Each structure stands twice: as C-alpha cells, then as structure tokens.
Amino acid sequence: MRTPLLLFLCICSLLAPQAWGDAGVLIPSPGNDKPDPTKLSLADMHVSIVIDNQNASVSLRQIFASHMSSVLEGQYLFAINPEALISDFAVWDGPVRIPGVILERKRAEEIYDALRLQAIDPGLLQQAEQGEEGGSRVSFFSARITPIPPYGTKRLELAYSERLRLEQLQSYFYFPLKPRQFQEQAAGRLRVDLTLRHVLPLSNFKQTSAQYPLTIDRQTTTEIRAHYEGSNVTLSDDFALTYELKSPSNLSVLFYRSKEDRYLKSGLPVTAFERPGRSDAETEAGYFEASALFNTTASAAAKRRPSEFVLLFDTSLSVRWDKLERQFEALEKILYQLHAEDRFQLLLFNSKATLFRPTSVPATPENVAAALDFVKGSFLAGGTDLKQALQTALDNFQPQPGLTGRAVLISDGNPTFGTVETQKLARWFSSATATPAGPKIKLCAYGAGNGCNKVLLRALAQSSGGLFEFVGETEAAEFKLNNFVAHLTIDPLSDPQLTISNYPNFSEVYRTPEGPVFNQSSAQWVGKYRQPLRSVNFTVAARQLAGPIELKRTVDLPSEAVEHLFIPRNWAKARVDFLLRKIEMEGEDAASIGEIVSLSKKYKLVTPYTSFLAAPRSLLRPRLIKPGDPVLRVRTDPDIRTVTAIFPFGLTKPLRYLPREQVWQTRFLAPKEMVDGLYYCRLILRDRVGRAFEERKSFVIDSRAPAIQASVDRSAYRPGDTVEVRVKSDSDTRRIRLRLASLEPAEARWDAGGKASIGRIALPMEIATGEYALEVFAEDFAHNVSSRKLAIAVVGQ
C-alpha cells in the first residue's frame, strides 16, 4: 500500500489515534466513551508537585461526583509521560483506601483473569515484554472504577515521578491538563501546590501558560513555594514552567540513608496524601546522587562546526499518525536551522532507500524548500529496512574538506526487513563506521512515538558518539527538539567519569541517564555506600575543546539523611535499566530476572517482568472520523483472540491484529451520505478460552473544516520586524500553523487574555522587499484542515 505523505500532513484523510487519556478522566459506563459532566463531573482536583534537585514527584488526587440516581461504573484513563514512573494508584471505597500493588507479570495476569471471571475489571499497568515492539518499552494506564454510588463521590489518587533534564542551564516541567483526546473539561475546584528547590541558585522562574497563575508563597535563591487555586476551572492548557540554574561549574552530592525504610515500598513521594506507618528495621545501605554541572566560559566551550549532514527520514507505514507529524516537525526544524556553510543530503527509506539528490547540496533556502517538497510528494509504503538505509547513507556520504560528517536518523527504529535484531544491527553499524581515528560519521537519532525502539536507536547513536532523543506522541516536544537541534553541530564533553576515594565502600554506581553531556548541562551518578565515613572525595573529570575540566567535592557520608527520598528509587531504576540492557545483549538469566522483580516490588517499578495490578478491555480509536475514512483501530486486553465490528449502516467486519502496534484494525468506508454526528458500533470480542464480550463504542462523523478568522497587527513591515497574527477558530481546533514564503513555520498558541490564538513570525534582515502571502492553516481533531491567506508587504528601511 502506498499513501502520499502530503495526504497525511495536510488533509490527513486517515485519522490519527489520540492519547489514551488526559490528566485523569473518568468516563461513565455503559453508554459513554467520553466524559459526561451531566453524569460524572470532576468536583475537586489537587495536584502536588515537588521538584527537588531536578527530581519531580507528582501526587494527584481527584474526586468525581455522580449526578445519577443509580449506581455507576466508570473507566479511568490517564496518559503517562513516557519518561515518568508511576509510583502509586489508589481508589477509595468510602473511608477505605485500596492501593494498587506490584506483582510479577505472570501472577498479575492470572489474578486479572480470575477477577474478570467474577465480573470484576481491575486495572493493569504494564510495559511491552522484552522483544515486543523491537525492544520498546511502552506503558499505559486505565482502570475500571466500580461502584460509584448514587449522588455520591469517588476519590482516586495517582502518583508518579520523573527526572527533569537540564539543557543550556534551563529545565522544563509540565503536568498534562490540556485536552488531547477529549474536549475541554472543567474542575469544580482546582488546587496546585508547587515546591521547587535546588542546592544551586535558581533564576528566571516563569510559567509558560497564564491559564493557572501561581501565587508565590515563599521565594529564596534556592527555593520557591507557590500555589494556584480556582473554582470552575476550564482545563484548556497544560500546567507548565521553566527555570534556570545560576551557577558556575559545580559538583554537588546528595544522600539518603534511613533505619525506617519501609515506607519506600509504598512508592509514594514525600508530598503524597498519606504515608504508611513505619517500623524499626535494620539500617539499609546508604544511597548517593552526584550531579556535575558544566558551565564553562564561551571561549572554552565547544564551537559550532560547519557540517555535512545526511538526513535519514523513515517513510514506512509504521510512522503514520502523530508519529509522522513529530518526524516531519523534527526534519523541518533541522533543515531550517542549517547555516549557509552547511551541506545536506536527504534519504527517505522504508523497504527501499531513495536519495533527494545524487550528491549533497548547500543548505540554501531554495534547497531546503525543495527537500521538504520532496518529502511531501513521497509515499508511505511497506516495512522498514534500516540496515539498507544506513548502508546507502554510508555509501553516498563523502564530506567535503573542512566539513564534519554527521548523520541524523529520524525514525521509530523498528526494522522489519533485512537485519532486525537489535544486537546484530548495532554491532554491524559500529563495525561499518569504525576507523583507526574513530567513527567516520557521527549518527544522531531522533525517535518518535511511544512504540519506538529506544534500545536500538540509543545503541546506534552511542556507538558513534552521537545524540539520542525520544519524544512520545502526546508529549510536549518543543524543549527536547530545540535542544536536540542545538547540539547537532556542537561536540559534547568527552567521557565524563566519576571517581571516589575509599571506593570499596561503594557499590553499583551508574551514570543516569547515559549519553552525551554538553556545556551548560549536567551529568548524574547514583550509587550505594555501606558505611558512614568522613571526608570522602568525589571527583568528576571530562575533556572539552580548551582542555580537561575537573570538579571536586569533599563530603561526609551520613549515618542518617532522609530528606531526598527520590535517591533510592533513582538508583533502583538505574540498576533495573542496567540489568535490562544486559538481558537485551546477552539473553535472559534467572539471577537478573529475579533481581529485577525484587527491585520492582520494593520500589514500585513497572518493567517487562512486573505489572501494576489495577487495563481496558478495549478502546476504540479513532473516535473522530471523516466520511470515507477507512480505518478503525481497537486496543484490547492481551487475552483477546478475535474482534468483530458491527457498524450502524449494516456492515460487519472482522479486525486483524497488528502485533507491532498492539492494536486490532480494519478498513471500512463511512458512506458519504452519513451526516455529521454521533454514531455507535458494536464490538464482539472473544478471548483465548472462547468467552465472548460485547461492547458498544461511539464515533463521531466530522466533515466540516474549522472556521477561522485571522488578522495581522499591520499591513507593512520592515526587515527585522516581527509579524503578529491573531487567529480565532472553532473550539475543536487542535493546531494552527503559520507559513510565510520559505521561512520556518510558526505555531499560533492560545492566549486566554486575548481570547484568541497568537502567532509570531520574525522577518530576517535579508528578506527581499515586496508583497507576500502569509498562510494560516487550522486543523481540528478529525484532521479537517482549513486555510486562509493574509497579504502583507515588506518595505525598505
């Protein structure tokens, strides 16, 4: 099958699947597949966020109110940031708190099956097994909530943690409140408590959205405490913030050691709503986290190197939907950021590899525009032969004198043709690029989609000293993408290493995460120590352009330190990741699996060998369908063996299982005479022992493109000016983009104060004078697209 990329990118007649859930939604059932505030409304929502030295712990409490006279059931959905770790989930049955538990995967599935036979539908949080999705690790969370009493309430709690990155001395945090699958929701009461602290001075703290303005309760150079509280709050944007660290190069060391370690098994962060009782236990080993901040002067830092790029862009059928949008967004960003002295070659690949030009070309605006048109005019087709694509890139890559050779792979990293094994492909590429002077090409990998093979992409990048970055379908990508592009033409610091005096007192020390470290960013190590000691020397050494850099810190190893609760869990995660990589490369062994299970149970980590018992039987996607749209997708429990869809217009279609994407799929034609509106289909599901289940799911026919009104702040501009565009559109608009000539496209974002979306395009000083058409594109959740052109003039100085 061959599908034009332009069809996906512009009018997208095949609808992309949406996120599984927003920031915790409870859908009443039966008869609903979206939130219905007339039946179940979000009465109260409390979000507690503690960011402690780049470690974010988030606790969410939600109370849903029933407005029905009968007992209800509900399906709870939560979209998990791919880099976050769920640490707790609990449902309250009246005054009784019922927490989730971590179990071995096989045992969790046995209990799950047994409960289902009793008409009880628990939730199940788990990752793809090792080898599924080519080594990807995907997690989702959904739980059936029952009973919800008449005119009563149901309280749910969820906690997770994540490590925030520091790039160019800046960090970004967001809590997902913006609707991605459903329309805007409202909370009767919303309270957000924020604590931000760091051992280094904080600066330039700001919210990136004005939707939830914080009140500062306390602010010092190293700590900020703030809160937001509102009533009848529309959840129309994410709660997001940025901050910077203001410090020269620095090495800090934090510790955790406690006799009372049992409450760690709850997985709850220190700000969670209640802490299980403690008991006296033997003193466990201590844990440390060493963080090295590199911030050298501009003259000593790495300089941008003129480069010759080969850009490998995946056009296989596995990169449809939001993955394709993410990939194309990355390609645009990279091409628009190239300098005049750079050159590039573009290679599109699926089961075949196709070059943009016979040889590389200068990065002129004309060549960049032609390359993007080349992509839009190509086709999605077939599977993925990644080895052939890499070999073609190597065969046609001969950097000109004075230019540094670099490759950028934009893909989900899931090969289906040729060499498909992660270990074999990684070893082949390392050998194919090896020279006595080092790798002949530096490969940087940008993975798109929750199902991307992060193990393979990371291995390919690390083997050549390149970058690896990953962004999920529903993740806010701007921060990651900007830093990925900024670092493409800058060499990182060479091999940061941690040394510790009295090293026999330490064990199982890991750098986390692994990967290149750049100036104005940080590297972290976690490890264990056996006994308290005085005057222990920590030293981090690395090399940069101007020579070696060395950071030192002398500290005492404490006998008791309980402030930084995140450190033992960060160590456990690093240890589990080490064991999973070992299994990936060397195969399974009982000792490694046993240790993974033991650590996962203690620290509540979901791994390929453990599950969080608390998964939907099915989830219909897409829910918004254009007339003529031929794709229906359903995600089910693992034990479902057949799925049949019965459509309202008389068609009955069996669905085919796609193991790579873990969904059932069929193609059908929605008759063009079907008017816009809500429709229902029946799903017949049969499990592995022959039991049949029937579910009623809805979808919406939506053929109308969003109506837009657009205006500019004035009609004439000079080079160097900024064009401000004000756009009003329908409430179901999901994205508004602005294009002007061959300049980098911009997005218009919602401005609550102005009650419109505002976008800005900066005119370069070298832009020619004359008349221009500024194009505004608006896309809704069904991927209907409308556009409007605005005339502007560029006049001389």
User: Do the domain assignments include residue 271?
Assistant: yes
Q: Do 214 and 68 belong to one domain?
A: yes
Task: Summarize pLDDT for 282-294 with one digit per residue, the tens.
Answer: 347 899 999 999 9
Residue 477: give the domain boundaries: 303-487
Tell me how far apart the 2 most distant CA atoms of the chain are, in Å: 80
3-state secondary structure (DSSP) of residue 81: coil
Question: Is the pLDDT score of 470 beyond 80?
Answer: yes
Nearest C-alpha neighbor of 285 from the set 315, 255, 309 = 255
Per-residue confidence at 274, pLDDT binned at 50, 70, 90?
Answer: very low
Q: Which CATH number covers residue 779?
A: 2.60.40.1930
Q: Do 524 and 646 belong to one domain?
A: no
Contact 407, 445 (CB under 8 A): no
CA distance 124 to 791: 54
Determine the number of helices (DSSP H) and then strands (DSSP E) in the chain.
10, 51
CA distance 217 to 350: 54
Q: Do 477 and 361 belong to one domain?
A: yes
pLDDT of residue 474: 60
DSSP state at residue 211: S
Check residues 753 and 116 and name the one with the higher pLDDT.
753
Q: Do 465 and 356 belong to one domain?
A: yes
Q: Do 473 and 562 belong to one domain?
A: no
Per-residue confidence at 480, pLDDT binned at 50, 70, 90?
Answer: confident
Q: Which of 159-163, 541-545, 723-727 has the lowest mean pLDDT?
A: 541-545
Question: Is the pLDDT score of 618 beyond 50?
Answer: no
Question: Is the pLDDT score of 387 beyond 80?
Answer: yes
State the Cα angle at 277 between 61 and 223, rounded to 5°.
55
Nearest C-alpha neighbor of 789 from the set 775, 772, 770, 771 = 775
In terms of DSSP H, where are the helices of 223-313? Answer: none
* Strand ranges (E), 164-245: 170-175, 185-197, 202-207, 215-219, 223-235, 239-245
**Count of domains forming the chain:** 5
The answer for residues whose C-beta is within 8 angstroms of residue 554's C-beta and 6 or more apart is: 535, 536, 537, 538
Per-residue confidence at 121, pLDDT binned at 50, 70, 90?
Answer: very low
Per-residue confidence at 238, pLDDT binned at 50, 70, 90?
Answer: confident
Domain end call among 701, 722, 738: 701
Q: Which of 127-131, 149-153, 661-665, 714-718 has the lowest mean pLDDT?
A: 127-131
Contact 312, 389 (CB under 8 A): yes
Task: Summarize pLDDT for 293-333 with one digit per residue, the tens.
Answer: 998 875 444 567 788 999 999 998 888 777 888 899 999 99
Check residues 369 and 146 and name the one with the higher pLDDT.
369
User: Do the domain assignments include residue 598?
Assistant: no
Q: Which CATH number covers residue 275?
A: 2.60.40.10
3-state secondary structure (DSSP) of residue 23: coil
3-state secondary structure (DSSP) of residue 99: strand
SS3 per-residue string spanning 35-79: CCCCCEEEEEEEEEEEEECCEEEEEEEEEEEECCCCCEEEEEEEC
Residues paired with 228 in a beta bridge: 192
| DSSP-derived pairing of the beta strands 353-355 and 610-613 | unpaired
pLDDT of residue 139: 47
Q: Do 182 and 78 belong to one domain?
A: yes
Q: What does 258-314 look like in DSSP terms, one character per residue?
A: -S--GGGGG---TTSS--PPP-------EEEEEEEEE---TTTSPPP--EEEEEEEE
pLDDT of residue 324: 85
User: Do the domain assignments include residue 317?
Assistant: yes
Q: Do 237 and 284 belong to one domain?
A: no
CA distance 200 to 254: 12
Q: Do 393 and 416 belong to one domain?
A: yes
Q: Do 288 and 416 belong to one domain?
A: no
pLDDT of residue 7: 45
User: Do the domain assignments include residue 33?
Assistant: yes
User: Do the domain assignments include residue 69?
Assistant: yes
Residue type at 33?
Answer: D
CA 387 vs. chain centroid, Å, equals 26
pLDDT of residue 630: 59
User: Do the domain assignments include residue 625?
Assistant: no
Question: Is the pLDDT score of 198 beyond 80?
Answer: yes
Task: Summarize pLDDT for 25-50 with one digit per residue, the tens.
Answer: 888 876 777 888 899 999 999 999 99
Q: Which CATH number covers residue 104?
A: 2.60.40
Domain end call among 701, 719, 736: 701
CA distance 605 to 569: 9
Check residues 465 and 474 and name the one with the higher pLDDT.
465
Check residues 543 and 724 and name the one with the higher pLDDT.
724
In terms of DSSP H, where are the helices of 554-708? Answer: 566-586, 590-603
Question: Is the pLDDT score of 11 beyond 90?
Answer: no
Residue with tokens 């974002």: 749
Contact 11, 785 (CB under 8 A): yes
% of the chain residues with pLDDT over 70: 81
Residue type at 697?
Answer: K
Residue type at 353?
Answer: A
Contact 625, 672 (CB under 8 A): no
Task: Summarize pLDDT for 521-576 with one digit per residue, the tens.
Answer: 999 999 999 999 999 999 999 987 777 899 999 999 999 999 898 999 999 999 99
pLDDT of residue 445: 94
Task: Summarize pLDDT for 691-709 with one digit per residue, the tens.
Answer: 777 777 767 777 788 899 9
Phi and psi for 694 in degrees, rounded to 5? -120, 135
Q: Which CATH number covers residue 378?
A: 3.40.50.410
Domain end call among 467, 487, 507: 487
Q: Which of 72-81, 113-122, 741-750, 780-789 has the lowest mean pLDDT?
A: 113-122
Question: Is the pLDDT score of 57 beyond 60?
Answer: yes
Check residues 73 and 391 and name the one with the higher pLDDT.
391
User: Do the domain assignments include residue 626?
Assistant: no
Mean pLDDT for all residues in the chain = 81
% of the chain residues with pLDDT over 90: 36
User: Do the domain assignments include residue 8?
Assistant: no
Q: Which of 382-396, 563-577, 643-657, 664-678 has the lowest mean pLDDT?
A: 664-678
Q: Do 309 and 295 belong to one domain?
A: no
Q: Do 342 and 274 belong to one domain?
A: no
Rg (CA), the chain: 27
Check residues 330 and 628 and name the one with the higher pLDDT.
330
Q: Do 463 and 341 belong to one domain?
A: yes
